[in-house]
Amino acid sequence: MDLQSVIASASLFKGLPDQQIAEIAGIAQPRTIPAGGLIFSDGEEADGFYIVAQGKVKVFKVSLEGKEQILHIFGPGEPFGEVPVFTGSAFPANATALIKSTVLFFPKTTFVSLIEKNTPLVLNLLGLLSRRLRQFTTQVEHLSLKEVPGRLASYLLFLSAEQNNSLQLSLPISKGQLASLLGTIPETLSRIFARMSEKELIRVEGREITLLDFKGLEILTEDGRL
Amino acid sequence: MDLQSVIASASLFKGLPDQQIAEIAGIAQPRTIPAGGLIFSDGEEADGFYIVAQGKVKVFKVSLEGKEQILHIFGPGEPFGEVPVFTGSAFPANATALIKSTVLFFPKTTFVSLIEKNTPLVLNLLGLLSRRLRQFTTQVEHLSLKEVPGRLASYLLFLSAEQNNSLQLSLPISKGQLASLLGTIPETLSRIFARMSEKELIRVEGREITLLDFKGLEILTEDGRL
DNA sequence: TGTTCGCATTGACCTATGTCAAAAGTATAT
DNA sequence: ATATACTTTTGACATAGGTCAATGCGAACA
């Protein structure tokens, strides 16, 4: 996929005239990152933001003891690291490629001068940031108001919705990564998968999950107890 | 304080020409809310956003079992409920007044048409949303990577910084509310205050806190164990 | 066909924190 | 002052989930 069409299909740039897209493509710098490669790190001075062209990128925080909490996993077309563009400071988290990925880098100063005369783009940006805030609201809610089984159930239902409501779904990330995304550790996650299987809520075969009791999962989502 | 000057002093509108400020003031609708009064609720259709003129407002989520997690506490000059203005949907949380408060309501449609031709305002908005995202990043980090003592220590240091770095500080909210803000319950918070007092890290007299061991609190913030 | 490496699972154990219940403290109004 | 109601504290207890350590499993590779 070429640079131009990646940019054109990113929702951040939806609805912009071709000429604008071309202008934006002009400032994008493609970079290829190997699996596990660092893209930026927490506290690092931010001189631009990124969009995933191909691959998968995780953004995460790490505690002093080394435990990691994934904030987001991004796929093709999704922008990340955009917050410091508008707060003029450092990245608030780390980003690495989960698999070999190509990202587009947009230098801050160039980009800002570009949006200053482009209202539709700016409205898209506002939309993006707002959606992201909403996601965080949900994440805080989950971390504080739900036990791990409830969070996992939510995640599975979310995945199902994402994969055409199929009852057959495959985890897009390893179980270890999933544990971090859900704010727990692999051992705990493994036990909960086992309990959910016993109770015939799901069937687990490696990364392939079958939802056996959709309704039951919805209940779990709400009342949390397994 | 009159409407005009409240608006002029809100950081969201910093740097705008007087004439713009007047225009914005023209669309603001003041509303007074009694202590405990509801401003909006989770899932409610959003037709505008708010700015606190006087008082104190909490924004929070509630679990099915009734446990509440405070997302933010807002004071004079701070905007809240602005996310749905750009995502075109419902409020993702609840808001109530902690004490008798006056808020300014800005109807969505009017406000959007206003920003469409106002680049500086839009940049302020982008800055606001970005800062808020950063705060959420921190909150997720705290909830997932730190035990309650670490979160409390962080909060106390934050408060100290906010109150001219004084070692004497007073809690702006009740301990029960603080528990919710930190993602825990009053009993647990009370015990941690007691332990921190025993260890001579702080002295607690009602809502008045004295920081006795600043360095110790910083360590707690990082390694979490008390 | 082994060998190796990373991921996943399982077991034994421990601790932070939530639950439930009661008492103590504080504030407000009559 | 005294009553009423709310907030905070304290105690006894239960448990979710983290830690540590060992084992199992599967994919890539020699």
Tell me the pLDDT tens digit for each residue of B29-83.
999 999 889 999 999 999 999 999 999 999 999 887 778 899 999 999 999 999 9
Nucleotide nearest to A204 (CA to C1'): C8
Would the pTM count as exceeding 0.75? yes
Are B130 and A84 within 8 A, CB to CB?
yes
Considering only CB atoms, A87 lies closest to which of B67, B87, B130, namely B130
Judge whether B55 and B97 are in contact, CB under 8 Å: yes
Judge whether A35 and A100 are in contact, CB under 8 Å: yes
Q: Is the pLDDT assigned to residue B185 strictly greater than 70? A: yes
For A109-144, how does the pLDDT look when each residue is reduced to its tens digit (9 = 90+)?
989 888 887 888 888 899 899 999 999 999 998 898
**How many Å is the maximal CA-CA distance in chain A?**
58
Per-residue model confidence (pLDDT) at position B114 = 83
- Percentage, residues of chain B above pLDDT 90: 64
Tell me what the mean pLDDT of segment A84-102 comes to. 89
Per-residue model confidence (pLDDT) at position B51 = 94
Most confident of A184-193, B87-96, B214-223: A184-193
Q: Is the pLDDT assigned to residue B182 strictly greater than 80? A: yes
For B91-146, how does the pLDDT look when each residue is reduced to its tens digit (9 = 90+)?
999 999 988 888 999 999 889 888 887 888 888 899 899 999 999 999 998 898 88
For A8-55, how does the pLDDT look when each residue is reduced to its tens digit (9 = 90+)?
988 898 888 888 889 899 999 999 998 888 999 999 999 999 999 989
Considering only CB atoms, A144 lies closest to which of B87, B138, B143, namely B143
Interface with chain B: mutation pick from A65, A71, A86, A182, highest number of B CBs within 10 Å: A86
Tell me what the mean pLDDT of segment A210-216 comes to. 96
Q: Is the pLDDT assigned to residue A169 strictly greater than 90? A: yes
Compute CA distances B54 → B10, B35, B206, whole Å: 12, 12, 25
Burial of A200 (0-12, 13-18, 19+ CB in 10 A): exposed
For B206-218, how does the pLDDT look when each residue is reduced to its tens digit (9 = 90+)?
999 999 999 999 9
Are B122 and A126 within 8 A, CB to CB?
yes
Per-residue model confidence (pLDDT) at position A224 = 66
Q: Report CA(B223)–C1'(D17) in Å, whole number.
A: 19
Per-residue model confidence (pLDDT) at position B35 = 87
Per-residue model confidence (pLDDT) at position B1 = 61
Please count the residue pairs, one from chain A and one from chain B, whose beta carbons lie less than 8 angstroms apart. 127
Strand D closer than 7 A to residue A44 Cβ: no
Q: Is the pLDDT assigned to residue A1 strictly greater than 70? A: no
Q: Report CA(A104)–C1'(C16) in Å, whole number.
A: 44
The three state secondary structure string of chain A is CCHHHHHHHCHHHCCCCHHHHHHHHHHCEEEEECCCCEEECCCCECCEEEEEEECCEEEEEECCCCCEEEEEEECCCCEECCHHHHHCCECCCEEEECCCEEEEEEEHHHHHHHHCCCHHHHHHHHHHHHHHHHHHHHHHHHHHHCCHHHHHHHHHHHHHHHCCCCCEEECCCCHHHHHHHCCCCHHHHHHHHHHHHHCCCEEEECCEEEECCHHHHHHHHHHCCC
Compute CA distances A93 → A23, B140, B144, B168, B188, whole Å: 29, 11, 14, 32, 29
Are A223 and B64 within 8 A, CB to CB?
yes
DSSP letter assigned to residue A11: G
Q: Is the pLDDT assigned to residue A65 strictly greater than 80? A: no
Considering only CB atoms, B140 lies closest to which of A82, A134, A136, namely A136
Q: Report CA(B196)–C1'(D6) in Å, whole number.
A: 25
Burial of A3 (0-12, 13-18, 19+ CB in 10 A): middle
